[in-house]
Amino acid sequence: MLHDLPNPLENLPLKALIFDMDGTLIHNMHFHRRAWVDFLGQHGIRLTEEEFEHYNHGTGLEIIRRLFGAELPAADVQRLVQEKEALYRQQYGPHLRALPGLREFLTVARAQGLRLALATAGDAPNIDFVLDGLQLRPYFDAIIGAEQVQRGKPDPEVFLLAAAALGVAPAECLVFEDSMTGIEAARRAGMAAVGLATTHPAAELQGLGLAQIAADYTHLHLPERRAEVLRWLQPQ
């Protein structure tokens, strides 16, 4: 289903696609939640996956500080984040695979001259794990991760940094996201967004002003000619 886009976008060309990583390139958010719950249990914090969702927004550093205390020394915060992420990679590693249609979608976008960026709350080890594990790195002109931002989503910082790295205006970007906080970050950045119904069912993404909602990339397309991109984004 297509939705109305903000008026300032209507007369601007689309120059860049910006992709979140977790839940957007791969279907892995359940593994992240499970790893967080297992990791926290090892440190005496007992939460269900549902209870953990109250804390689950922003970067790993921000989540650790919410759960372990804002005064925890930075070195300890970093150590705990790396412990959790290593557990996640161990648990998810055997299941690592791209969302259906992703590689073909990226190939078409590159062929049409669109600039591509990754903008994620994930840190460098997790980015390497995904991009190199799936051989996706060559598709991206810019990569922005947790180490480059001060504030995680829903703050728009990561998307604005990605646009700047690509040399394009925010309104010339289309974001691909799976999370409510990511969609809100795109809105705050002044960017249109496509919702991937992986972390949330499509019904929960309705009414958020998304250009399109799809289960994966086999249900998305880019037009054959760049001049048609804006028409694809317009309400049908």
Same structural domain, 154 and 189: yes
User: Residue 12's pLDDT is what?
Assistant: 58
**Which residue is listed with tokens 């037009």?**
223
Which of 95, 119, 152 is the endpoint of a domain? 95
Tokens at residue 76, please? Answer: 């300890």
Of 67-71, 82-86, 223-227, where does mean pLDDT reach its minimum?
223-227
Q: Which of 20, 123, 155, 178 is catalytic?
A: 20
User: Residue 223's pLDDT is what?
Assistant: 55
Is 2 within a domain?
Answer: no
Predicted confidence (pLDDT) per residue in 53-67, tens digit: 889 888 899 999 999
Is 12 within a domain?
Answer: yes
Same structural domain, 83 and 177: no
Q: Supply the mean pLDDT for the chain.
A: 89
Same structural domain, 90 and 140: no
Same structural domain, 14 and 86: no
Sheet of 16-19, strands arranged across: 142-144, 115-119, 16-19, 173-177, 192-196, 212-214
Same structural domain, 19 and 132: yes
Of 112-126, 136-150, 211-225, where does mean pLDDT reach its minimum?
211-225
132 classed as catalytic: no
Residue 139: name the closest of 120, 117, 161 by CA: 117
Number of C-beta neighbours around residue 119 at 10 A: 35
Task: Tell the burial category of 112 from Cβ atoms under 10 Å away from its Cβ (0-12, 13-18, 19+).
Answer: middle
Same structural domain, 60 and 103: no
Is 1 within a domain?
Answer: no
Measured CA angle at 72 (ends 69, 77), to 5 deg: 100
Which of 56, 74, 95 is the endpoint of a domain? 95
Instruction: Report the number of distinct structural domains present in the chain.
Output: 2
Tokens at residue 27, please? Answer: 């279907």
Same structural domain, 118 and 211: yes
Same structural domain, 162 and 202: yes
Which of 50, 67, 95 is the endpoint of a domain? 95
Q: Are 111 and 17 in contact (CB under 8 A)?
A: no
User: Residue 219's pLDDT is what?
Assistant: 79
Is 50 within a domain?
Answer: yes
Is 75 within a domain?
Answer: yes
Of 8-22, 154-168, 215-229, where does mean pLDDT reach its minimum?
215-229
User: Residue 233's pLDDT is what?
Assistant: 47
pLDDT beyond 50 at 8: no
Task: Name the region of 104 (left: φ>0; alpha: ψ -120 to 50; beta: rest).
Answer: alpha
Same structural domain, 196 and 162: yes
Q: Which domain holds residue 75?
A: 29-95
Measured CA angle at 146 (ends 204, 44), to 5 deg: 80
What does the pLDDT average to over 154-182? 96
Is 170 within a domain?
Answer: yes
What does the pLDDT average to over 80-98? 97
Report which of residues 204 and 230 the model is more confident about.
204
Q: Give the integer Cα–Cα distance in Å for 184 and 177.
A: 10
Q: 221: domain CATH number?
A: 3.40.50.1000
Q: Give the integer Cα–Cα distance in Å for 139 and 76.
A: 35
Secondary structure string (H, E, C) spanning 110-134: HHCCCEEEEECCCCHHHHHHHHHHC
* CA-derived radius of gyration, the chain: 18
pLDDT beyond 90 at 227: no
Same structural domain, 114 and 210: yes
Is 197 within a domain?
Answer: yes
Of 11-15, 85-89, 113-117, where does mean pLDDT reach its minimum?
11-15
pTM for the model stands at 0.86
